[in-house]
Structure formats: structure tokens, C-alpha cells
Amino acid sequence: MGKVTMGPQYLIYPMPILLVGANVHDKPNFMAVAFCGIANAEPPMISVAIQHHRYTHGGIRQNLTFSVNVPSSDLIKEADYCGITSGSKVNKVEACQFKVFYGKLNNAPLIEQCPVNLECRVVHILDLGSHSLIIGRIEETYVSESCLTNGKPDVNKIKPLIYNRAPSRHYQAFGEVVAKAFSIGEELKPKE
């Protein structure tokens, strides 16, 4: 059959790299997260999985709010830094020179330099083992004006990144458009 088994693995599941923010002891902190997901459409909800001991985790549990910031490829150094350091030891906002702003929730810190920012209110926390799965209802979305085309967010300006572990751990850009969604599959429908 040409298949090999590799045991239970999530290693080949490509995910975007995001910066999750929370106020911890009343100061903004951010961590890099690739364990994320879309959880619901109406109302819009997303999920992030965070290890229990992480500094940001404490802030989210305390405030029951968090932010999700999509770094562009220009911010990859900062995003990676937020993944290899802990807010318990360094001031990441200072080190990364992030400009922080707050939106309607007042206590979910947002990064101005990130082209897309989501403010979320926690609706569920599931302890699944090594990680807590935190499900947040998106309360507001902010997009940098410079990343809009005709008033709509444009991935070619946002330049989000994928975190890829196969075969080694890299950040990759989005590549060429392969096909139009909800369209190319029509070719497989029987002709009438």
C-alpha cells in the first residue's frame, strides 16, 4: 500500500503561527502559538492550546480574555522570540518593541504591528493532558488599513506564516494560489 505508520502524531498538521496575548499581573505578555484552530462559525470562536505552566496561561485564566495577533513575515524574529522566552523572565513587549493597544474588552492586549488582531472572551477551558484547550469567542477583529484591498483583508499584504515541522521546524510563507475554493470541485459533478 506504500504507507508507513508513525504512531500517534500531530507533527504533520500544518498550522499558522500566532501571537496569543494576555495581561499577566496587569502587564501585557505574548506567546507564540501554533496549536490553534477555528472552533465555531456562529458565533465566531477560535481555540488555542497552551501548556498549563506557561506564563500567559495564568493571565488568561485570571482575566478570562485573550488576544490573537497574526504576525506578518516582517515580524518573524519577534514571533519566534515570543516562543523561545518566558514572560516570567523577560519583558517581551520591550524586547520586541511592540506597540500595545486595547480594544473593547479593555484587558486583552493587542499588537499594533500585527496586521490582524482578535479580541476573545473565554467560553470553555478543557484540560486535555499536557495542554489546556482554551476556546474563545471573538468579540472584535482589527485589521491594519495598509493590509486591505478594496476594503477587504488581503493575504498578500498580511503575509501570515505557517509553522511547519516536516521535515524540520520552519516558518513558511503562503505560496501560489492553486485553485478557487467551492468551485474547482464542480468539475467532478456529473454533467447534466
Q: Is 163 in the site for its own copies (CB under 8 A)?
A: yes
Distance CA 11, CA 163 (A): 10
* Phi, psi values for residue 75, rounded to 5°: -105, 20
Question: If you count them, how many residues does the chain have?
Answer: 192
Q: Which stretch binds its own copies (CB under 8 A): 20-28, 56-64, 115-123?
A: 115-123
d(CA 41, CA 53): 30
Name which position in 88, 91, 106, 129 contacts its own copies (CB under 8 A): 129
- Minimal distance in Å, beta carbon 58 to its own copies? 19
CB 47 within 8 A of CB 135: yes
Q: How far is the CB of 99 from its own copies (least distance, A)?
A: 9
User: Cell for 30?
Assistant: 505574548
Q: Write out the binding residues for its own copies, residues 13-42 only, by CB under 8 A.
A: 13-16, 34-42
Query: Is residue 53 near its own copies by the rule CB under 8 A?
Result: no
Q: Examine residue 106 and tell whether it contacts its own copies (CB under 8 A).
A: no
Among 19, 22, 24, 46, binds its own copies (CB under 8 A): 46
Q: Grid coordinates representing 39?
A: 472552533
**Binding of residue 10 to its own copies (CB under 8 A):** yes
The least distance separating its own copies from the CB of residue 78, rounded to whole angstroms, comes to 7
Task: Based on the shown chain and the rule CB under 8 A, indicate whether residue 122 belongs to the binding site for its own copies.
Answer: no
- Give CA separation, 94 vs 7, 28, 73, in Å: 41, 10, 20
Asked whether position 107 contacts its own copies by CB under 8 A, the answer is no
Cell matching residue 160: 501570515
CA quadruple 72, 77, 80, 81: dihedral sign: negative
Helix (H, G, I), strand (E, B) or coil at 80: helix
Pick the binder of its own copies from 24, 108, 122, 169 (CB under 8 A): 169
Among 2, 26, 191, 192, binds its own copies (CB under 8 A): 2
